[in-house]
Amino acid sequence: MKDFRWLGAVLTLSLAGTSAHADDKGVEREAIIEETSVGEAVAETAAPGWTYPKAYASRPLTMNKFMIRGTFSVDTKRAIIDRSTGALEGKPLVSIDLGVAFSIFDNLELGVSNYRLGSSPANAAQGIFPIVVSPTGSFGDMPLYVRYSFMRKDYVEMAADFVLLVPSWTNLSATFGLPVRIRARGPVTVDTGTEFVILSNGAGLNVEVPVKATFNITPAGFIFGDSGFSFQNIARNLTGGSYFDTSLAFPVARNQVFVPLGVGGGYTHVVKNMVMIDVFARFGWNPFVYVNPPSGVNTLPATDSWVLSVGATIHTSPILHESGLK
């Protein structure tokens, strides 16, 4: 376990060093102001002097330089498999997950967290301090990630992700992602992209194609819906599910394809122009519909596959920059 953590730390620092030669001035950010039918600017800045957008739908894929983000969530999965028998247990998986991220430049973000803006829904039992409380107490996994935003236009942004999952509860894996954020119109954003998850246990591959639409009803209030396609256990040597490798709530066999579905919303509040807090909730099914269900599994396994997440993200203003540390 300790060797894996050292490996993750060295790899993350190496990636950060490689990007240090990039222009540390980055691209100067301006709030994207769009007027709604009632004349509200839904992408107002977080606070005077803090140009990070308050509206969730208008935020960039990486935070502003020297911003810090903390995450807290309680995640519940309806279905969980017994490690010894492989059968479904009656108790759900419940975890309390804490994460942290830091932006070195406007376009370079590092973190140990199961949350990345615009990516697939966060996995349970992952973070810098993930605690599994049900069905038995345990410590989860640590996902070390680096994200580099390489293209920014007025209405579209693209980035590259690398995530190394340091396991203490599941299995070692690596994720390569290309998240895309499309600002469709006004307060509406569509997130998509592709994620390739390389599985070490049985040498398999998962491919995720998430699609998420977010609508800011007001500068503070937002709702969202997410779906997409999930290709699980491609060309894997192991028989059985990949529950311990992904955010699945229901185990699947090899070479499976399904469609997830989720809905949620949240509210943003700024405290003393220094801290911005998003409180959110999401309820969904993962999977919702199987394209090719495994033997003995329903095409619509909704009663056995639901996932519930509630939590908060906490953003700080660029306090290091403001204190003169550049």
Q: 236-244: list long-range contacts, CB under 8 Å, 24+ apart.
A: 236/199, 236/202, 236/203, 236/204, 236/205, 237/202, 237/203, 237/204, 238/201, 238/202, 238/204, 240/86, 241/81, 242/199, 242/204, 242/206, 243/80, 243/81, 244/169, 244/170, 244/171, 244/201
d(CA 225, CA 88): 28
Mean pLDDT estimate for the chain = 81
- Tell me which of 1.20.200.10, 2.30.30.100, 3.20.20.70, 2.40.160.40 is the CATH number of domain 2-22+31-322: 2.40.160.40
pLDDT at 240: 54
Sign of the CA dihedral with 235 first, then 238, 243, and 249 last: positive
Domain ranges of the chain: 2-22+31-322
Q: Which of 42-51, 71-80, 207-216 has the highest mean pLDDT?
A: 207-216
d(CA 69, CA 127): 13
pLDDT at 243: 53
In sequence order, what DSSP letters do the residues of 46-107 get, joined into one string?
Answer: EETTEEEESSGGG--SSPPTT-EEEEEEEEEES--B-TTT-PBPSSPEEEEEEEEEEEEETT
pLDDT at 244: 56
This prediction has a pTM of: 0.82
pLDDT at 89: 61
> What 3-state DSSP class applies to 251?
coil
pLDDT at 324: 45
Can you give the length of the chain in residues? 326
Calculate the CA 115 to chain-centre distance. Answer: 3
d(CA 179, CA 152): 12
Q: What is the pLDDT of residues 83-140, one digit of tens each?
A: 555 556 667 889 999 999 999 999 999 999 999 999 999 888 899 999 999 878 889 9
Beta-bridged to residue 121, according to DSSP, are none
How many other CB atoms are found less than 10 A from the CB of residue 222? 23
Name the band, by pLDDT with cuts 50, 70 and 90, for residue 311.
very high
Calculate the CA 32 to chain-centre distance. Answer: 23
Average pLDDT, integer, range 254-275: 93
Q: What is the pLDDT of residues 130-174, one digit of tens each?
A: 999 987 888 999 999 999 999 999 889 999 999 999 988 888 889
Query: 302 or 189: which carries more pLDDT confidence?
Result: 189
- For the record, the structure tokens of 49 come out as 């002097």
Average pLDDT, integer, range 260-273: 96
Q: How much of the chain is helix, strand and coil, in % rounded to 5? A: 10, 50, 40
